[in-house]
Amino acid sequence: ARGWSHDKEIDESHGECAVDFKPDAFWDLMYENNQESTHASAAEWVRAVLAPAILTKCTRSIPDIPQPGIQYRDPTTLLLQPFALPLWTGLVVSWLGSSRDRIDAVVTPEALGYVFAGAVASALKTPLVLVRKQGKLEGDTNRVDYCGSNMYQLKPHMSSDRCSFEMVAGAVVPGQKVLIVDDCLARGATVSAMLDLVQQQGGVVSKVAILMELPDLSGRPKTKDVDVFSAMQFPGA
C-alpha cells in the first residue's frame, strides 16, 4: 500500500518512507539541558526538526542529474504522500505568524511553484498570482529577463540561453505586501526575477517561502528587508 508506514520491513522492501532514519533520541521532546519541553518549544521542535525531516525523507534524490556528481532533488514525490501539502502549508503559516494578516497576495512562477503556492494562498485566503514563461499569457503583461533556473543552467546546451518571465499587468496592486513561494531556491535567479516583476507593478515583497533550498549556492535575496523561509535544505548544487 502506498503511504506512510512505521513497518521497517515494508519500508525497506517497498521503498516507502521509513521513520527509523533517526535514533530514538530524535523522537522524544527532550533537549540538551534534559528538561522536558514546553508546549511552545515542542511546537518549535516540530516546525524546525520533525516536519522538515519527514519532508526530506519523502523527497527523492536522483544521482548524476543533470550532470555527473550532482544529486537532483525531486519534490514531486512529496505529492504522493497525502499529508505533504498540509504539512508544508502548516510550516509556512506557522513561520509567518501574525504577519500572515499582512500578506495581500502570493506570487509564484511556473511550474511546480503553482502546486505549493496554491496550497499556501488557499490557507491565507489571499489572491494567487501566476507568473509564466514568455508568450504564455495574453493581453498586457510585465516582463523580466533572467538567466534560467539552476537545472537550466547546468544543462550545457542551454547554459548560454536566456529566458523571460511575464505577469499579467495589474495582478499586483501598488503597495500590496507580497509573499513569493517557489519549490526550489538554488542560485536565486528565479526569485530575483519574481522580485523584479512585483516591483514593476508597485508591490512590496516582504517574505519568500521555499520548499527546498540549496544553501551552498547562496541564492537568497541580498536585501535585508526580505525574510526567507525554507522547509528543507540540501547540500551541493
233: CB partners within 8 A, 6+ apart: 52, 212, 213, 214, 215
Cell output for 168: 499579467
Strands 128-133 and 105-109: parallel
Cβ atoms of residues 221 and 188 within 8 Å = yes
**3 has a pLDDT exceeding 50:** no
What's the whole-model pTM score? 0.81
Share of the chain above pLDDT 70, in %: 76
Q: Can you give the pLDDT at residue 160?
A: 47
Residues 6+ apart with CB under 8 A from 60: 73, 74, 76, 77
Kindly report, residue by residue over 194-208, the tens digit of the pLDDT: 999 999 999 999 999
202 vs 170: CA distance, rounded Å: 9
Give me the pLDDT at residue 153, please.
55
State the average pLDDT over residues 46-62.
89
By the 10 Å C-beta count (0-12 exposed, 13-18 middle, 19+ buried), 67 is classed as exposed
Give the mean model confidence (pLDDT) for residues 103-120: 96
Mean predicted confidence (pLDDT) in 46-50: 84
The type of residue at 103 is I
- Read off the pLDDT band of 48 (50, 70, 90): confident
Q: What is the mean pLDDT of residues 104-115?
A: 96
Check residue 69 and give its pLDDT: 86
Cell triple for 89:
502549508
Instruction: Specify the pLDDT at position 49.
Output: 82
Q: Kindly tell me if the per-residue pLDDT of 162 is higher than 60.
A: yes
> Residues 105-125: what's their mean pLDDT?
96
